[in-house]
Amino acid sequence: MAEARAVSSGGSGQGGDLVLLYHFEGFMDAGHAAEQVVDHVLSAKFQFEGAGEEGQPGNPVVARFDTDRLVDYRAQRPTMTFDTDHWSEYDAPTLDVRLARDAIGTPFLVMYGPEPDTEWERFSKAMIEMVGKLGVTLSVNFHGIPFAVPHTRPTTLIPHGNRQDLLAGYTAWFDRAQVPGSAMALTEFRLSEQGHAVLGLAAQIPHYISRSPYPAAAVRILEAVTSATGLVLPVQELHAEAQRVDAEIESQVAQGDDDLRSMIHGLEVQYDSVAGSDAQTNLLADQAARIPTAEELARQFEQFLAEQDRDTDH
């Protein structure tokens, strides 16, 4: 059964009123947005100075899922190291919930690992049980999606969930779309059915750079998490990296052909004509034909996933 096993962790922060941040790798993360968010909040430089005061340095594991039941090893082959005449290392997949602390010491939980290949319903049930036992008051998932937007404009988020107060103020890009399902989405759906507060954040990544790290999206996600939860999550280092990447993209565009520059200019015109100089509550109000339809969005998702599968096969 896909169940979470509690792990003894001393000062784990298990006492209720916790935020859970989670992402499952292997499905959809254009621009490596979620990967960068997780790396950032679990990095040694980010850690609150008093995180190890109770004998728990780093990010102790408070719950662990049985990946041997959840992962199809032939679909997501773990890495092994062959050293001269023997196997010396095995990089076993892990799906853990770890304790982290924000810049002022507030505890929160981070869950990251491979997307389950099997037993999605049992896994969702285990997630519901875990959220209840650990006293999670808000579960937040996040990832990047490829979208027809230019890198020269601010990163936009598509929020979803059952906390209407946290969804207010965001642009509504479309009303309805059918896209490939994921364990992350199903978990959000099942948690919401059981009355648990959930929030999802999908960062729109310029489709022409969606397979490269795009730190501006990670910055935008962390800013949204801070706004929604009150956690203090500094982004100075990521912001500096975003500026470096932006300069690199500009250099490549300048050296590129006219077709590339023309495409980006067209995306800028489209973005500006829809969004205008001031933020609107619904971009569909006057310019619905200018942005991707639900069917086009689904095709972009499927193309991105197919490209990831080809990379994995090679």
Q: If you write DSSP's letter for every residue of the chain in order, what string do you get?
A: ---EEE---SS---SS-EEEEEEEETS--GGGHHHHHHHHHTSGGGS-TTTTTTS--S--EEEEE-HHHH--TTTSPPPEEEETTEEEEE-----EEEEEE-TT--EEEEEEEEPPSS-HHHHHHHHHHHHHHHTEEEEEEEEEEEES--TTS---EEEEES-HHHHTTS----S-------HHHHHHHHHHHTT--EEEEEEEEEGGGTTS--HHHHHHHHHHHHHHH------HHHHHHHHHHHHHHHHHHHHS-HHHHHHHHHHHHHHHHHH-SS--S-THHHHGGGS--HHHHHHHHHHHHHHHHHHHH-
How far is residue 174's CA from residue 193's CA, in Å, rounded to a whole number? 23
β-partners of residue 120 are none
Report pLDDT for 67: 95
Note the pTM of the prediction, 2 decimals: 0.83
How many domains are contained in the chain? 1
Report pLDDT for 119: 96
Please list the pLDDT of the chain residue by residue as tens digits (314 residues): 466 665 544 444 445 689 999 999 988 999 999 999 999 999 855 555 544 444 345 799 999 999 999 999 998 899 999 999 999 999 999 999 999 999 999 999 999 999 999 999 999 999 999 999 999 999 999 999 999 999 999 999 999 999 999 999 887 767 788 888 999 999 999 999 999 999 999 999 999 999 999 999 999 999 999 999 999 999 999 999 999 999 999 999 999 889 889 999 999 998 888 776 444 444 333 433 345 555 655 565 556 556 655 665 55
Report pLDDT for 280: 43
How far is residue 138's CA from residue 17's CA, in Å, rounded to a whole number? 8
Residue 115: which of 124, 107, 106 has the closest Cα?
Answer: 124
Report pLDDT for 6: 59
Structure tokens at 155: 């990163």
Residue-number span of the structural domain to which 97 is assigned: 4-313
61-65 and 4-6 strand pairing: antiparallel
User: Looking at residue 192, which CATH number applies to its domain?
Assistant: 3.40.50.10900
The values of phi and psi at residue 38, to 5°, are -65, -45
How far is residue 75's CA from residue 209's CA, in Å, rounded to a whole number? 25
